[in-house]
Amino acid sequence: MDHYSLKYLLDQRLTTIPQHHWVGKLLGFDFTVEYKAGTTNMVADALSRWDTKDAAVGMVLAVSGPWFDFISRLCHAQATDLALVAVHDKLTADTRTAPWAITDGLVTFEGRLYIPPSSPLL
């Protein structure tokens, strides 16, 4: 698909609602559109032709995603807080009751995860 017309986006008559929408968003930026034909723009050409037989020869796929380490950091924070370790021990020995509890190995207060005041998670 050739997007040469985008070079003149701000110079043409806006006839559709999506055009008004996108031009309204773009007006807040200082930019210029430079057109490169698909034959000279090798990076874009490679991305648009990834499903051809030649492209599949050297294909590398990478999957990335967010890394949520909150629970492991909370476990560490609870294990290093001396007062909370004492509460954990009393809960394990059944000498302390509600509103404190142990849920999935973590200390909870009134049904919510308890974050020690000394923790950087606050």
Spatial CA neighbour of 111 closest among 119, 102, 120: 102
Q: In angstroms, how far is CA 27 from the centroid of its own chain?
A: 27
Q: How confident is the model at residue 2 (pLDDT cuts 50, 70, 90)?
A: low
Helices (H), ranges, the chain: 17-26, 42-48, 70-80, 82-92
Residue 122 located in a structural domain = no
| Whether residue 74 is found in the same domain as residue 109 | yes
Going edge to edge, which strands form the sheet with 112-113?
A: 100-103, 106-109, 112-113
- Say how far apart CA 77 and CA 80 lie, in whole Å: 5
User: The domain containing residue 105 runs over which residues?
Assistant: 70-113
- Tens digit of pLDDT for each residue in 50-59? 565 555 555 5
Residue 37 located in a structural domain = yes
pLDDT reading at 25 higher than 70: yes
The total number of structural domains that make up the chain: 2
| Whether residue 42 is found in the same domain as residue 8 | yes
Residue 120 located in a structural domain = no
Contact partners, residue 2, CB within 8 Å, separation at least 6 = 38
Higher pLDDT, 15 or 6: 15
Residue 63 located in a structural domain = no
